[in-house]
Structure 1
Amino acid sequence: MLHRFLFCLAVLAATATQPGSAQILLAGGNLPVCSSMGGHGCEPMTAWPQQALDMHLYRVTEARIERWQASLGDSAHSPAARELRTALDQLALEHAAPVSRSWFSDQLGASDAARYDALDDRARWQLLDHFQEPVGARGEKVRLRDSSSQATIDIFERFVAMARETSGRERPRIGVSTASSRDPFDALDFYLQVFEQAGAEVYWLPLDRAFSAARAASRCEDLAEFQAELLGTWD
């Protein structure tokens, strides 16, 4: 996922102990890191435990259809929403097993709900989020040193080495923000693991708009509402 590496521009500055002592390392957005969700970046024959998440699955049920439709508000009565509802009802009857995102999208795109292909990003993610299967105890796993690119390993280890030099700590503390992501939790496991494996003590900094707004309003219990409104993320 390209967005995962763009944050490397500035995190190191947070480890500086003296004004003006920060260093910056620029890293591109296409570093092939070995992870269970990105096997193309791994050495051949890399094996993963059963608990490693390798893809998100989707399943259509009547309960999820009702929940998705309720989230639409007044637009639930639009022609596009009615067409999608018909297509989703049919999928719920014909396909009980979880399916891949590409299969799910292809089925809706090929159905009479031709308006699916015309959905904007927010509406499409609203649909996908409501039918994504919970991952349970599974999660994305990272194996930095099994990455097929030695340059990738060198870049992350150099990043941590620079933080070590600046902080004077053997395991420097690095704060990771995922605020640029539509779903701040999506790449969280990835970031924490890749920097820990590179030798750092890693912390997540919850700095996204939804968290900040919920905290400012003293409504942290309503975080999901802020995420839907401000980030276009539905749990």
Structure 2
Amino acid sequence: MDEADEDIAADGARRRWKQDPEAVRADILGAARKLFAQKGYSGARIEEIAALTACSKRMIYYYFGDKEGLWRAVLAEAYRRTREAEEALDLHGLPPAEALRRLADFTFENHAARRDFIRLVMIENVHEGAHMPQADEMSGPNLSVIRLLEDIYRRGLAAGIFRPGLTPLELHWQISALSYFNVANQATFSRIFGDALFTPEGQARLKRQVGESLLRFVLTPEAAARELP
């Protein structure tokens, strides 16, 4: 691209920024999510992110302050999308055992489909969580899944089918742990043991087993005998 073409592209970007700033912000986040997931926080460069959009480095800095601010925004947006998808399941009207199983199934499927989200979380854990957004920025929106599990667990206790002594946070950990490992460790696991578990058939079996394991952990023995095969 010669200098004249660059000027034309810059003028077009400025016009779009003035007409639809939220769309421009979303484009930057999308490009940054892709590059951060591919190259990590340390490896990704603002110049590369700008090149994937019609934006300049200056515009990225205008929206996000600096590279760390952009990374934090990408993380927050990735978590927000997951929480919104969970809310869209509308589990409040389902029987508690079915609702819990549906949430486990969704988490397994969503993690498998959104590998960029898992990679972003892996990368931030490598950095010991040093770049996470402020606690109130993350905890508030992410508490929606805990409230959802509180509702499911409370209804299960009231129905006499869930055993007492558990917490929604523990249930969230149980669901997340297996679903996360399925993606985060796929490369090394399949290199050592083969890829049988990562075929469509293998993934369907694992998803079913994750749901059944969770229910066997939560249900009373009497309820488990009725609810599970």
TMscore range, shorter length? under 0.3
Report the TM-score, using the length of structure 2 for normalisation: 0.26
Higher helix share: 2
TM-score (norm 1): 0.26
